[in-house]
Amino acid sequence: MWQAAFHDLLGQGIFNSDGDTWVLQRKTAALEFTTRTLRQAMARWANRIIKNRLWTILADHGDAGASVDLQDLLLRLTFDNICGLTFGKDPETLSPGLPENPFANAFDSATEATLQRFLFPSFLWRVKKALGVGSERSLRESLAVVDRYLTEAIAARKATPSDDLLSRFMKKRDGKGRAFPDDVLSWIALNFVLAGRDTSSVALSWFFWMIMQRRDVERKVLQEIASVLRDTRGGYDDDTGKWTDEPLDFDELDRLVYLKAALAETLRLYPSVPQDSKYVVADDVLPDGTVVPAGSAITYSIYSVGRMESIWGKDCAEFRPERWLSGDGTRFEQPKDAYRFVAFNGGPRTCLGKDLAYLQMKSIASAVLLRHSLELVPGHKVEQKMSLTLFMKNGLQVHVMPRDLAAYAAPPRQGPVVIPTTTAAAA
């Protein structure tokens, strides 16, 4: 059912395929995603957008005293970033005035219409598709816009190859030594856009919401950023602005261990994809003795797993980044059981873009916190939206204020500053 429902949008891309088709795309993509050059390209695209547009937009809202929907800004930023990395083309949806973009709007509409297929019996959406009515008509019209954009992007990359993902896949060959046809390239590109846009922006929205409630965690993140910048950029001088004239670069971001822990803790409590399904290929028995026959499907709640006391302990509801750090706090440590934390899936289908996602999130989070302090708009209600991705239903309305770095500029005089940990439920 999952593959049939998503076929019109994702085709036989890596998220909607199995068997030999999936293996070929997985192997091809794995060769690219493990390269340092791709991670550096991600950092360059993100930093360019942050420096030239995000910082300006946030500062303008701060000067005007107006609130802004941070979730919307983050969705625009990650969309521009992943399109740049995938197509080598920046749609500039994150620009002053927050312009509408036909491809971005069509992509959102197509995703929303596809979601409708899961809310009703499959025969119903198939009938609506045959008749061309309702959400199926919207899906068809949106996909036409998406297809035109992808066709133009592929043509542009064939004419002028670059170092983007699309150009890299154009150089690859399938199992029979043939170049990927245009429709397969479209599926591959669109799957990457889907994976790289919503997931990171939604995780960042929940991260900023959490640290607005946990200023002790925010202070620790800022202390870590300041410690790295003292090493790489020297002493802080508010007049020169050398700490805040450029976002953190690739090597600086790699040193932000506590920030990565805080992001992982956010994903534990608020996974971007809150549930997943698996298809049973052969009769099997689950560890608890449940028999699952071939042909059945298993849906499990990633959201619930992250909040289970039997897995995470009595403090499972607490937002505590320290659970991801080594004893001395210097290293990020994954759980020994890879299936304990499945926000990035697990096993053979573990997300290839996991490291890129952390890199993008660290780049954006550090850049925002370095220059700006955020306050939730009084009375704004934060709640989850029923969707394939854990969006905030009402967005994230915040007031933006300039950051005073004076408290973090000077190194600690007597060892590290110890901030008492407060217990605050994250739910």
Q: Which residues are annotated as a binding site?
A: 351
Backbone angles phi, psi at 249, to 5 degrees: -85, 180
Q: Kindly provide the residue ranges of all beta strands, DSSP E only, lying in 71-210, ordered along the sequence.
A: none
| Binding residue ranges for heme | 351
Element (H, E) at 398: strand 397-402
CA dihedral 383, 94, 108, 185 (to 10 degrees): -130
Burial 180-213 (b: 16+ CB within 10 A, else e): beeebbbbbbbbbbbbbbbbbbbbbbbbbbbbbe
CB–CB of 143/110 below 8 Å?
yes
* 420: DSSP letter: P
CA distance 386 to 394: 12
Report the first-to-last Cα separation within the chain, whole angstroms.
Answer: 32
Element (H, E) at 376: strand 372-376
CB–CB of 100/106 below 8 Å?
no
Tell me the chain's radius of gyration from C-alpha atoms.
22
Burial-class residue 10 by CB neighbours within 10 Å (0-12, 13-18, 19+).
Answer: buried
CB–CB of 399/375 below 8 Å?
yes
Burial 272-301 (b: 16+ CB within 10 A, else e): bbbebeeeeeeeeeeeeeeeeeeeeeeeee
Element (H, E) at 58: helix 55-64
Residues forming a β-bridge with 399: 375
For residue 309, the one-letter residue type is E
Neighbours of 383 (CB within 10 A): 7
